[in-house]
Structure 1
């Protein structure tokens, strides 16, 4: 028998993953009712104080933020993935209680109870599954939207991280996304100007990809080979002998969550170095490797303080990039670096960020937004993300565009994911309060003679 930690050592936050369309729909129905009740109570309180009720303000309250995050954390799957996206992309945009509570969803989902976990392990490995390990820890290292991670040691002395997929998550994707669309159409829950169909379509596709662990294993191996030897970065090796359709086994990666670098007392130089390494990685992924991990949230990185290296995790959202797309976005980057309006407009048309069928006002607004986003490329020396108000400025411009002229056609799905990678990386820099010389980082990749 291998050594195992008793289930009691697992985190106190545990709940069985709800399975089946009806069960999951019921959870979302309860959530909608809870949010509505909270909004009504808040509005009644505003009236009692002689204030004019605001529906949006009644929905986006601390109480509703708590209700939303708790229910998403219990459900996991597609609904929690959306919460993770909101936590990453809503920083400095959503009200503080929502941003802070949704941030917990990056790595603090409810864990499966030991009985459900044991059922999954027996289904994947067969009866007597524990005999394949010298040691298995029932306490998860992390619990996220698609699965939870456990540490195990083989009889040969290999230390592994086992990513174990929650039961029923893949089968529930379509119904979850459909129900999410209904929930998010509640007034005040989604910021004005967000096209839900545009948001949910790539979410559906991404979840289908992320629940295919065989494809993720291939992507992780391919990514590791293409990355090669980089002193500050490493990718754990896939262990095929202990991987199945719903368990992905990889070498155990030491380190702590990247969010620990946000704590007081962390030297500025350390935060700058990590942020610069992640920016260099994004540039290398796109321009050299042509394979981009498009989900840059904090939970997908580990920082090893002993070596200073960053472990790269989770390749379910890895996306290959065509030569044509690289050429188009390289041209857009050059135009933004020059702040050349006409060139930016032509590049945006080629990429699909604007379309000829969009109104002149819509096209102008998108170009203005792009030129604002390109500010760090035009800064001489390090760009101070900690002091920048760029995220708020971009959001405000987006709001103004929605109110004035609305949005035209959405960009292609692959462009949306690549856009998320670069903007997400910039947001990581902002959360770290880092200073990064992006002109130097992007420099050679945007040179006119670059190939």
Structure 2
């Protein structure tokens, strides 16, 4: 769940007709912002930057409308905002990307009836205290802090009304936005996003995943996974331990020490590797808001297991082989691993294959570095972005890999971007050694 400042007061549109109306209004705002010619170009996928321009005011109207809807619309923004600028037209990337930081809470007039439906008419008697102002919100729901009558301190993840029922219709309506994609079939990403949204809206499945993950991580000095409280959990409310901590990306602020930044980044990379190579169970959402850091204990708190799923053995071994090859700078082995993971095909033109391998080699620079890699002093991400965008514009990327492999890649990318945000020093060869 994102830790961004909350805005709110507007009810979440909960019926299909109401949500379709809001998306239609967003489309109208978009058309007003870019003009008829730009809208036609966008719908045809011809959104050249010199013909489709959004003013700041128009962009604000569009993103405000879509953020108000929550659900699938916001989720697609989260999935595509981190690295979507090299896939989308700049205008579409701006529309989707800004959604990731827009967290609207539902008003009390919508929250109170929901609590009564889930807990019963006298629901308030079950609590000593209930914080009506949410401490976090995201695309599916919002989190409230509460103390039960028997003294337990809980975080209650409360699902927005109507969001679960609107997933399929929202995803169908988002086809319009997908037409802004140039030269790439995004249907696998949309299908995976649809699957993830249905999974995230299933709080029973998330409770099971949370308990499984907590059992794998255990009790230790490095990580904390909240426990589920089944007696306060329902189909639309997930109750768990309330965990203190600060949003992990706040460690980038000058008042925090390099020690804390380095420790937090190394622990995040460690849990990512544990998930893949030891647990074969990965929480695939790369948002920074899914991690808290406890200054007093030095622990990383792991949150939000709605998008947790097992990784097939073939994918695990494929990534192990790819990392080994990259660390050894073995180009032929990298090529075979890329084919196994779906990043390339045997019939891919040689020029495209060579360009892809060059980009993979560049992206694995920190894995070949001896000792801690200083993300704060590196311009690696700038080099990767510039080369990747150039290759995309040249038509080098014509397919997406298997969705399970693709979303693992996004999890790695999210961890690396956190390391960069924190300007941390991370010893990747040391962390990788036990698994290779």
TM-score by length of 2: 0.89
Alignment deviations for residues 175-197 of structure 1 (CA, whole Å, 9 cap, x no partner): 111211212424xxx5x455432
Query: Residue deviations 1:27-67, cap 9 Å, x none?
Result: 12222222232234999xxxxxxxxx964674355334423
Residue of structure 2 equivalent to 1:162: 156
SS of match in other structure, 1:248: strand
Secondary structure of 1:225's partner?
Answer: helix
Partner Cα distance (2:300, 2:365) in 1: 27
Residue 93 of structure 1, CA deviation: 9.6
Identify unmatched segments of 5+ residues in structure 2.
39-46
Residue 278 of structure 2 corresponds to residue 288 of structure 1: yes
Partner of 1:373: 363
1:269 is displaced (CA, Å) by: 2.3
Taking the TM superposition and a 5 Å limit, the aligned residue runs for 1:364-443 are: 364-443=354-433
- Determine whether 1:150 maps to 2:144: yes
Change (3 A) 1:56 1:443: farther
Match of 1:20 among 15, 21, 34: 15
Q: CA deviation at 1:103?
A: 5.9
Q: 2 CA distance for matches of 1:21 and 1:355?
A: 41
* TM-score normalised over the length of structure 1: 0.86
Confirm or deny that 1:84 pairs with 2:78: yes
CA contact (8 A) 2:86 2:392 kept: no
Task: Provide the C-alpha distance between the structure 2 equivalents of 1:325 and 1:12, rounded to a whole number of angstroms.
Answer: 40
1:299 maps to which of 286, 289, 295: 289
What secondary structure, in the 3-state scheme, does the structure 2 residue paired with 1:153 have? strand
RMSD of aligned residue pairs (Cα, Å): 2.8
For 1:67 and 1:60, locate their aligned partners in 2 and report how far apart those are by CA, in whole Å.
Answer: 11
Change (3 A) 1:304 1:64: farther
CA contact (8 A) 2:131 2:146 kept: yes
Structure 1 unaligned blocks of 5 or more: 1-9, 44-52, 447-451
Aligned match of 1:117 in 105, 111, 122? 111
Q: Stretches of 4+ moved more than 4 A in 1? A: 90-104
Which residue in 1 is equivalent to 2:256? Answer: 266
**Separation of aligned partners in 2, 1:100 and 1:444:** 42
Is the CA contact 2:12–2:161 (under 8 Å) kept in the aligned structure 1? yes
1:59 equivalenced with 2:43 (yes/no): no
| Residues 1:432 and 1:58: Cα distance change in structure 2 (over 3 Å) | farther
CA distance in 1, matches of 2:48, 2:334: 39
Maintained 8 Å contact 2:322/2:338: yes
Query: Contact 2:158/2:237 (CA < 8 Å) preserved in 1?
Result: yes
C-alpha change, 1:88 and 1:353, in structure 2 (3 Å) is same
Superposition deviation, residue 11 in structure 1: 5.9
CA contact (8 A) 1:362 1:406 kept: yes
Could you say what secondary structure the match of 2:377 adopts? coil
Q: Which residue is 2:127 aligned to?
A: 133
Aligned to 2:32: 37
Contact 2:125 2:149 in 1 (8 A): no
CA apart distance, 1:15: 1.0
CA contact (8 A) 1:359 1:408 kept: no
- Tell me how far 1:295 sits from its aligned partner: 0.7
Note the C-alpha offset of 1:16: 0.5
Is the contact between residue 358 and residue 409 of structure 1 (CA under 8 Å) also seen in structure 2? no
2: CA distance, partners of 1:419 / 1:56: 32
Q: CA deviation at 1:341?
A: 0.9
What secondary structure sits across from 2:147 in the alignment? strand
Shift of 1:287: 0.8
Displacement of 1:115 in angstroms is: 1.2
Q: Aligned partners of 2:402 and 2:318: how far apart in 1? A: 13
1:153–1:384 distance in 2 versus 1, CA, 3 Å: same
CA shift, 1:158, in A, is: 0.2
Q: Provide the secondary structure at the position in 2 that maps to 1:275.
A: helix
| Residue 308 of structure 2, aligned match among 318, 321, 344 | 318
Q: Which residue of 2 aligns with 1:73?
A: 67
CA gap of 1:35–1:133, structure 2 versus 1, over 3 A, is: same
| SS of equivalent residue, structure 2 residue 128 | strand
Deviation at 1:96, TM superposition (A): 12
Point out the more displaced range, 122-131 or 203-212: 122-131
**Correspondent of 1:354 among 326, 335, 344:** 344
SS in 1 for 2:103: coil
Structure 1 residue 235: Cα displacement: 0.3
* C-alpha displacement of 1:111: 0.8
